[in-house]
Amino acid sequence: MTSSRLFDLTGRRALVTGSSQGIGLALAEGLAAHGAEVILNGRTAARLEAVAASLCETGHRAEVAAFDVTDPEAVARGVAEVEAAGAIDILINNAGMQFRAPLEDFPHDRWDELLRTNVSSVFYVAQAVARGMIARGRGKIINIASVQSELARPGIAPYTATKGAVRNLTRGMATDWAKHGLQVNAIAPGYFRTPLNQALVENPEFSAWLEKRTPAARWGEVAELVGAAVFLAGDASSFVNGHTLFVDGGITASL
């Protein structure tokens, strides 16, 4: 197999959850640039349609599948509709949220919301998509974990718990589904400039701390996650399974 073929996604369909902005959008654009037909997912159809139109204007293939990934019935319907138009070869479970509060005062409803959005959605969508992949004997699932799968910071213990769960759920999915021809891996981003982190980006004290704490001495840019996603989505990673790839500027490698 040629080196270019290892990273060529031509002819493959990729469902990317939470892809109207931020990391999800960057990954959808990156997969499309490497030949994939992307299916954009989120809850706001109008926003997704605008993103799809922009991708199509640049010569890429993009569709929209608006459904709530925290609702298992909506997920089942949404995935079935996507599969009716063609097989899902690649799934990126990116949808997620953050909420910051002191742990002793953390609202119970926010805890439940974090679990639904960051963990349950990964299970619901992966399970629904994996059934078709198992029947076909192939498929790529990429779950978006976090540097917080490995580390913790004050004020975000519940978020850290959810991302730790995503990392271990990835291992479990690989353990169950590798025998069916699926590769299930995770990407763990460090600190990137995204809408989710906007408050931190705009905080001079935090940015100064981050630059000192990170060996690369800067925030990451979302385009720097594309290479990891293309590697895990393509033939280059055919024997990589249950792995979490940290893309974090070295922050988890350094004290």
Active site residues: 159
Half-sphere exposure of 175 (CA within 13 A, CB side): 6
The whole-angstrom separation of Cα 24 and Cα 244 is 17
CB 185 within 8 A of CB 91: no
Q: Which residues pair with 188 in a beta bridge?
A: 246
Task: Give every strand in the sheet of 244-247, ordered side by side.
Answer: 62-66, 37-42, 13-16, 90-93, 139-144, 182-189, 244-247
Q: Is 66 exposed, middle or buried (0-12, 13-18, 19+ CB in 10 A)?
A: middle
Token code pair at residue 217: 């001495």
- CA angle 73/74/75 to nearest 5° reads 90
Spatial CA neighbour of 143 closest among 98, 194, 92: 92
